[in-house]
Amino acid sequence: MARDQGFVLQSKLQAPQIKAKTLHRQRLIDLLTQNMNKKLITICAGAGYGKTTLLSQFISSEKFPYVYYHLEKSDAAPAVFFSYLIAGIRKLYPELGAKTERLGQFFNAPQRYVNIIVGTFINEIIEHVTDNLYLILEDYHALYPSEQIESMLIYLLEHLPEPLHFIITSRVALPISVSQLRARGEIFELGNQHLRFTKGEIRELFGMAYSGTLKESELEWIREHSEGWPTSLRLILQSADYLEDEESSGYIRKILEDYYRSQSNIFNYFAQEIYNKESKSTKQFLADCATLEWLTPELCDAATKRRDSADILEDLTTRNAFLVRMPGVGYRFHNLFRDFLTSKITDKRKTKRIYRRAGDYYLKENRVEEALRFYLLAEHYTKASKIIQNIGAELIAQGKSAILCSNIEMIPKSFRQQRPSLLMTYAQSLMYVGRPDEAKNNCLRAVQLFKKRSHVTGKYADALYTLGGMYLNLGKFDAAKRWFKRALDVCPARLRLTRAAILNSIGSVHTAVGGKQLSIATKYFRKALKIAQRNAFKSLEASILNNWGMNEFRSGNLRRAYSVLSKIVPLLEEHYTPGCGAGFFNASRFAMLLGYRREAQSILDAGTRICSMYNDVWSMSTLWHGYALVYHEIGDVNKATSYAAKALEMSEKLGHVQGIIKALNELSYIEIVSGKISDAERNLSKARVLMGSKTDIEAIPLLLTDAKLRIAQGKYTDAESMLVDALTLSRKLHHHYYSYLLTQELSSMYHKKGDMDRAFVMFDEAVSLSRANGYDYLLLKMLGDETWILRHIRKDSKNGRYVVSAIKKSELSIHWIDITFFGVPRIFIDDTEVPDRAWRTVKAKKLFCYLFLHRAGQVTRDVLIEALWPDATPSSGSDNLRKAIQYVRETVKPYVDRADDVITSSKGVFYPSAQSSVWIDSEEFERLVSKAKQFEVSDTARIGTLESALALYHDDFATGWYEPWAEEQRRHHQNLYEECLSMMAQHYVERNKPKEAVQWFKKLIELDFFDEEYHRGLMKMYAALGRSREIQNDFQKLKTRLEKELKTEPQEETVRLYTSLVKK
C-alpha cells in the first residue's frame, strides 16, 4: 500500500463545492439527519439525480466528522481502496493506518487474506477512532465488477466497530446483501423516488432562478416531462441562461416547446443546446479536456498547450456548466456531461498527444502512477515501461500486483519480449496473482536476455534467484538448487541483500531434501545470517533463523533448533511480517520439547499479541495449535481440545490443508489419551483422506497418532506395521527426533504385548538417540509415564548412568524403592538401605511398607488406622497416624530430594509417588509363581522360573510382625511357597529324576509334616532309588508323630503304598 501521500490523488478525497443557484433540499437533509445513527446509509439513484449535490449540502449543513472518497474504476483494487480510505481518515486521526499499510504483500491475494486486511483495519479503527466517523463512498458503481471489494465491504459491515458509519452513493443497488442490516434496523436507503424533485421543489427552483413564478400549466408540463430528474431541470435552467435580455418565465415555455418538437433525449437535447452556445475556444477546451478525469489549470494548460485554462474553468464553474469544484484541489466534469463531451472526440491522434502531455505533466510532478496511466493510454510504451521498471517492486510491495499485471499487459507482447527488466517485473506480479506457469516462462525469457548483457550481472543474478524460487515452490529441488547456485556465482559482492537471500534459499533446498544434505544447509544459513546481521536486514534475518531452526529440528537437534529460533521472537515482535505466527509456533514448540513450558507459553502469548493486532488469521490458526500442544503437555485436556478445535475451524475456513491435517491429528491424540476412541477414529479418518498416499516426512506425525489409536484398540499388529514403516523412513531421512518418538512408541507397544525383550531393545535405541541428541526432557517424560522401564535402566550399564544423571538434573522426583518382606523387612531407596535405627518408631516403618504394598488401591486414613492401630480410638488413631507420617518423612528426607515426593496424600487418601520404581520381593515372588504355572510341566523354562522365585523366599513374610494384615500376607505367601516346592518336586518326578525329587519332597515335609501326599511322593522316589530303609524310616516317623500328636493312624492309601513298596 502507498505510504507516501504523493500516491494519493487528493482531489478524490475532497467533497465537491455547493454550486450557486442550487436548491437547498431540506426535505432530504432532514431524512439523512434523522438516520445518522444507522450503520449504513445508501443513496442509490440513476445518473443526474443530484446525489453529489445532496451529499455536499448534507455535509455543509450538519458539520459532522467525515471522510469523502470519490470512487473510480482504478479504486477496485483493494490496495488502492484502502490507501485512499487511510489517507482520508489520517486527516482526522494521523496515527491510524500504520499496521494496515504493513500488509502490503497480503493485498496481492486479497480474497485469501480478506480477514487479515479488513480485520487489521477494524482493529486500528477501534484503537484510534473514539467518536462517530462517517465514511462517504461516492459512485460505488464505478467499481463494478469487483468481488474483492464486495467481500471486504461485507466483512467490514458485518464487524463494523461502534463509531464507524458508511454513506454510499451508487447508480445501481449495492451488489451486497443488506438483509441482516435491514432486519436490525441499521440501514437507511434513499432511491430515485426520494431524489426526484417534487412539484413544490420545481416551483422553488425556478422561482429562485427568475423573478416571478411559473404558471401552473408550465409547472405541470415541466414536472411531467422531466419526471423530477434534477439534471433535466438544471439543463433547462442553464439553457434559459443563454437567452439575452429575457426575464419572463414565458421564455421557459418556448424552450420547452422547442425541445418537445425535437423528439430528442432530454439530456442530449439540452446538453447540445448549451454546448452549441459556447464559444469556439471553449468548445475546443471542453472536447480536449474531456479525456481528463480530474482538472487543474496547470494540467489543462500542459495537456492542451493553452494558457487560459484557469479563466475558462472559473467561467464555466460560475455558470454551473457541468463542472464540479473541489476547493483547493481542482475540478471534475459531471459524469453525464463528460460522456457527452467524449462522444464529440474524433481525432484519436490528437487525443494520444493530450494523453502524452498529461503523462509528461504528472511525471514532472512526480506523480508517477498517474503518469504511467496516461503514457499507456498514449501508447508511449518506452516511457511506460521505464516507469514500470522503476516502481514495479514498490507496487508489488503495496499489494498492487493485479494492477501492475494489467498495466504491463497493455504493452504489446513483442515490445515486452525484448526488455528483460520489464519481463522480471511482469513475472513477479504474475506469481502473486496466481499465474505461476506464465511467470516462469517470462522469467526464463528474462534470464536468456540478461545472460547476453554482461553489464547487468546484478539483474541477471536476481533473475536467476527468482527463477530458483519458482522451482522451489513447485517442489523441484534439483532445478531450484541449480538456478540458485548460478545466481550465487554471478551475484556481485556489493548486492548483499540478494546474496544473503540466495544463500538462505540454497539452505532451504538442502533442508527440503533432508538426509545428509541437512549439514550442508547449515553452512549456507550461517553465511546468510552473517550478512543479514551485519547489514541489519531484519526481516531476512528472521526468515533465515526460522529456516535454520527447522533444519536443526530435521537434524534431530532440539537444543540447537531452540537456540536458533529463540532469537526470532524479538525480531518478529519488532518487524511483523504476514504469517509470522509460524515462527512463534516453532520457537514455542521446541521450548516445550525441551521442557521449558513457561517459555513456550510466553512465546505464544507474544505471537498472539502481535498477530491479533493485524487480524492475521493464518498466524492465529498456527498459534492456537501451539496452545493446544502446551495445554496438552501440562494436562489441561479441556483447554487443549478447545484450542485444537479453534485451529481446525480456522484452517478449514482458510482452506489450509496442512493446517487441517495437523489440527485433526492433535485432536485425535488428545481424544486417544482421554479414551474417546471413536472420536479419535473419526478425526483420523478425515486426516488420512486429506493426507492421501504421501509417504514423506510430513506423514510421520499422522502415522504415529494412527499407531497410538491401534494400540488403544488392541490392534498391535497393525500398530507395529505402521511404526516400523515410519521408523524405516525416518532413519532413511536421518530425522532423529521422529526416530526417537517411534522407537519410544514401539517400546511401549511391545511392553503392552508382553514382549519385554523387544520392548527393552527399542527402549535402549530410544535412550541412545536421546543421549546423542539431548532429548533428556522427552526421555524423562517417558519414564514418568512408563515406570516399568526404570527397573531395566538399573541393569543397563551402557545407558543407565546417563539416565540416572538426567533424572538427578531434572525436577522430576524419580526414585528406586526396593522393599524385601521375606525375613525381617528391609527398605532401600536408590540402592541405599534405610537402616532400622533410622526409623524413629517401628510403626513408621510399617506404615511406609504398608503403603507401598497396597499402592494399587486407595489407602484411606481409616484403612491405615485399622491396619496399624486396630485398638485405638478414632482420636488417638488419627494422632498416631499423623505422627507416624511425620516420622516417615523425617526418616526418608536424607535419601530423596523432597520427602513429600515419596509419600503424598490427597483428600484423605495416601499413596506413594507414581514416578517411583517400586520393587517388592513378595510381589516379584508372586509374579514368578504365576508365570511358572503358565508353563507346561515338562517345559525347562518352568524350572528356571521356579528357582528364581524360591531364591527370593528365604524366610517367611515379615518375620516378627504380627498385625493381622502381615499374618494374612504371611499365610498367603507360605501357600505360594508350598506350591513352588510341589511344582519343583513334580517337575523332577516327570523328568524321572528321583534323586532331585527327594530333596524337594523333604522340603515339603519340613514345611507340612502331616501332609501324607508328600510322604507318599517321597517313598515313591526312595523306591525308585532302591532305598527301602529310607522308606521304612519315613513311614515310622509319620506313624509315630500321628499317634503321638494327633492320636490317629496313617491314611489307608499311605499304608497300602508302604506295604507294596516294602514287599518289593
The model's pLDDT over 349-405, given as tens digits with 9 standing for 90+, comes to: 999 999 999 999 999 999 999 999 999 999 999 999 999 999 988 888 888 888 899
CA trace torsion 872, 877, 880, 885 (10° rounding): 140
Q: Looking at the structure, tell me whether residues 290 and 271 fall in a common domain.
A: no
Higher pLDDT, 206 or 1012: 1012
In this structure, is residue 401 part of a structural domain? no
pLDDT at residue 712 is higher than 80 = yes
pLDDT value at residue 263:
46
Q: Looking at the structure, tell me whether residues 301 and 171 fall in a common domain.
A: no
Nearest residue to 388 via CA among 429, 430, 422, 424: 422
Q: pLDDT confidence of 248, banded at 50, 70, 90?
A: very low
Phi-psi group of 835: left, alpha or beta (phi > 0 → left; psi -120 to 50 → alpha; rest → beta):
beta
Q: Which residues of 898-930 are buried (b: 16+ CB within 10 A; e: fewer)?
A: ebebbbeeeeeebbbbebbbbbbbbbebbebbe
What is the C-alpha to C-alpha distance for residues 300 and 295, in angstroms, rounded to an integer? 7
pLDDT value at residue 245:
45
| Phi, psi at 438, each rounded to 5° | -65, -40
Q: pLDDT confidence of 338, banded at 50, 70, 90?
A: confident
What is the C-alpha to C-alpha distance for residues 449 and 456, in angstroms, rounded to an integer? 10
What is the C-alpha to C-alpha distance for residues 450 and 75, in angstroms, rounded to an integer? 35
How many domains does the chain fold into? 6
* Tens digit of each residue's pLDDT (9 = 90 or more) over 981-999: 999 999 999 889 999 999 9
pLDDT at residue 474 is higher than 70 = yes
In this structure, is residue 783 part of a structural domain? no
In this structure, is residue 580 part of a structural domain? no
Q: Looking at the structure, tell me whether residues 17 and 163 fall in a common domain.
A: yes
What is the C-alpha to C-alpha distance for residues 1027 and 1044, in angstroms, rounded to an integer? 26
Q: Roughly what angle, to the nearest 10 degrees, separates helices 401-409 and 381-397?
A: 170
pLDDT value at residue 262:
47
Helices marked H in 365-474: 368-377, 381-397, 401-409, 413-416, 420-432, 436-451, 457-473
pLDDT value at residue 225:
61
Q: Roughly what angle, to the nearest 10 degrees, separates helices 776-785 and 736-753?
A: 10
* Tens digit of each residue's pLDDT (9 = 90 or more) over 461-471: 999 999 999 98
* Tens digit of each residue's pLDDT (9 = 90 or more) over 424-457: 999 989 988 888 899 999 999 999 999 988 777 8
Q: Looking at the structure, tell me whether residues 1031 and 902 fall in a common domain.
A: no
In this structure, is residue 213 part of a structural domain? yes
All 3 cell numbers of residue 13? 478525497
Q: Which of 257, 276, 295 is the last residue of a domain?
A: 276
In this structure, is residue 514 part of a structural domain? no
Q: Looking at the structure, tell me whether residues 163 and 43 fall in a common domain.
A: yes
DSSP one-letter code for 1046: I
In this structure, is residue 246 part of a structural domain? yes
pLDDT value at residue 1041:
94
Nearest residue to 884 via CA among 844, 930, 842: 844
The model's pTM is 0.65
Most trustworthy range by pLDDT among 322-336, 339-353, 482-496? 482-496
Q: Looking at the structure, tell me whether residues 117 and 136 fall in a common domain.
A: yes
Phi-psi group of 936: left, alpha or beta (phi > 0 → left; psi -120 to 50 → alpha; rest → beta):
beta
* Tens digit of each residue's pLDDT (9 = 90 or more) over 823-844: 999 999 888 999 999 999 999 9
In this structure, is residue 508 part of a structural domain? no
pLDDT value at residue 355:
93
Residue 581 carries which side chain, given as an amino acid letter?
Answer: G
Q: How far is CA 640 from CA 594, 598, 669, 687, 912, in A?
A: 19, 16, 11, 18, 29
* Tens digit of each residue's pLDDT (9 = 90 or more) over 891-916: 988 888 655 567 788 888 888 876 67
Q: Looking at the structure, tell me whether residues 265 and 295 fall in a common domain.
A: no
What is the C-alpha to C-alpha distance for residues 71 and 82, in angstroms, rounded to an integer? 12
Chain centre to alpha carbon of residue 813: 35
pLDDT at residue 178 is higher than 90 = no
In this structure, is residue 230 part of a structural domain? yes
pLDDT value at residue 801:
77
Q: CB-side exposure of 582: number of CA atoms within 13 Å?
A: 13
pLDDT value at residue 601:
94
Q: Looking at the structure, tell me whether residues 151 and 11 fall in a common domain.
A: yes
Cis before 145? omega within 30: yes
Q: Roughly what angle, to the nearest 10 degrees, separates helices 114-128 and 78-90?
A: 0
Q: pLDDT confidence of 321, banded at 50, 70, 90?
A: low
Helices marked H in 908-1027: 921-934, 940-952, 964-990, 994-1007, 1012-1025
pLDDT value at residue 3:
37
pLDDT value at residue 244:
45
Q: pLDDT confidence of 209, banded at 50, 70, 90?
A: low
Classify residue 261 by burial, with Cβ atoms within 10 Å: 0-12, 13-18, 19+. Answer: exposed
Q: Looking at the structure, tell me whether residues 177 and 224 fall in a common domain.
A: no
pLDDT at residue 120 is higher than 50 = yes
Q: Looking at the structure, tell me whether residues 291 and 331 fall in a common domain.
A: yes
What is the C-alpha to C-alpha distance for residues 597 and 96, in angstroms, rounded to an integer? 37
Contact between residue 252 and residue 212 where contact means Cβ atoms under 8 Å apart: no
* Tens digit of each residue's pLDDT (9 = 90 or more) over 272-310: 666 767 788 888 888 888 888 888 999 999 999 989 988
Q: Can you give the CATH number for the domain in which 970 is found?
A: 1.25.40.10
User: What average pLDDT does the chain have?
Assistant: 86
Residue 525 carries which side chain, given as an amino acid letter?
Answer: F
Q: Looking at the structure, tell me whether residues 974 and 1050 fall in a common domain.
A: yes
Counting residues of the chain whose pLDDT is more than 70, the rounded percentage is 91
* Tens digit of each residue's pLDDT (9 = 90 or more) over 963-973: 999 999 999 99
Contact between residue 995 and residue 968 where contact means Cβ atoms under 8 Å apart: no
What is the C-alpha to C-alpha distance for residues 446 and 464, in angstroms, rounded to an integer? 9
pLDDT value at residue 136:
94
Domain span holding position 1049: 940-1063
Classify residue 319 by burial, with Cβ atoms within 10 Å: 0-12, 13-18, 19+. Answer: middle
Nearest residue to 527 via CA among 559, 547, 500, 562: 500
Q: Looking at the structure, tell me whether residues 272 and 284 fall in a common domain.
A: no
pLDDT at residue 1015 is higher than 90 = yes
pLDDT at residue 216 is higher than 80 = no
Nearest residue to 554 via CA among 748, 706, 729: 729
Counting residues of the chain whose pLDDT is more than 90, the rounded percentage is 51
* Tens digit of each residue's pLDDT (9 = 90 or more) over 125-159: 998 998 999 999 999 888 887 888 888 888 888 88
All 3 cell numbers of residue 297? 489549470
Q: Which of 237, 254, 276 is the last residue of a domain?
A: 276
Q: pLDDT confidence of 332, banded at 50, 70, 90?
A: confident
Q: Which of 866, 893, 921 is the last residue of a domain?
A: 921
Contact between residue 913 and residue 944 where contact means Cβ atoms under 8 Å apart: no
User: Which range has the worst mean pLDDT, 31-45, 636-650, 787-801, 955-969?
Assistant: 787-801
